[in-house]
Structure 1
Amino acid sequence: MHAQSDLNNDNVIDNVMSSFQQIQSQIQQNKIAAPAPAPAAPTERSRHEVIFPPSKIKVGANEFEVSLHAPPMSILREFTHIFGPNILPPNTSLFVIPTIQPSLVGSLLNWTNVVSLEKDRLLECFLNLCTSLIPQILPPHIFFDYIDPCSGLPMLHPSNKIYDEVAGCSELLNLRVYNAGGCKVLTHNEYGDGGYPATIFLGGEREEVMRFYQMVVNLYSGNNGT
């Protein structure tokens, strides 16, 4: 009886090994696709979601590149550090709109009167977007704030903690950063070092924030902006 049982077990093992060898042979001959590797554990960057990729809007004569993001954990932590843990409405999420304006004078690295005046102009254009235009169509229950590009501080909620806009735009838009004279410089794919970064934060339910963002883009696409 034991001899018969051992013989049956040997047959099962032989059959399994034979099937395994056949599958290996078929995989090598590309007859069967090899199983996909298990996905890597999620990282901070992998949690970042580009909800709407970069597109152009025009406010008056000035162009903005804008996009909508569900930010990675690194930016969520920085946001909480700056604004506090309970700033967003309950059961809502944080979203980020990084904006880039192209300089009309090329590189913004030179310390000249022309560059200084251009930075002032770009700042005024961003502030106009955030203080005059967006509030006209912003639903009252969506959290809204924007960062002062000069100081790195929030404009609508008091805080003495600085948001690193260059690092934030680099992470969200996958843009290169390099050091120039001790300053971090963002290199845009189209504008080079002539891009002026600035950041808008929104908090709300995902679908509502998406509708609001699309409204902004539709309103200011082409030459509709004022």
Structure 2
Amino acid sequence: MTVTDLPATPTVSLSAAMREGSMAEHQEAEDSRFMTELLGGRVNETGYAEYLLRLRGVYEVMETTLGARLDDPMVAAVHDSALERLDAIDADLAHWAPGGTRTVDSPAATAYRERVSAAGEWGGLLVAHHYTRYLGDLSGGQAIGRIIDRTFELDGAGTAFYTFPEIPKPKTYKDAYRARLDGLGLSPEEVGRVVDEVKVAFRLNQALFTELGQNIDGYRR
């Protein structure tokens, strides 16, 4: 099967299909060398700023593309300005790279941005990227934020990316988000297309980490 390796039946909800159908790609991204070093507290300030710069470009395109498609019922179902991260990343970069550029020469980030922009052709594809990024920020991203804060003894400085002032209870929010996904009423074929794009999104994330990992020795603390 080329889509999800899951049976395309009405008993599989969209949120479950997205989660279960992309588990291998998700795990591979988490196991990348750069992410392993970051979670181990072994990436220095330069390496972390390079990571943020790549994410900045992705979120800039994501939030612009989403904003242009709010008339699509699928996009409207998940869009929430409380999730947007671009301003938070800029605030963090002011801490990690004050006065520095807000762009980076990154083939992996460019490929990611282009894929997100192309996803604007159908709302389900944008939902796949929205889910992968923002639910990740509310899940594993919270652990990364705590590790960064502890590693650099920041006391909250430079970690706005992981802070969601308007979402005090991430679990409750994520449960409601998944319920909205499940209420979209997609056909099995459409579910398969969304899951395929989630898998692509995780591979694009892994490509970012692989690119960063190529300079891991220069990023060591």
TM-score (norm. length: structure 1): 0.28
Report which of the two has the higher share of strand.
Answer: 1
Normalized per residue, which structure has more helix? 2
> Which has the greater radius of gyration?
1
- The structure whose RCO (Cα within 8 Å, separation 6+) is larger is 2
TM-score by length of 2: 0.29
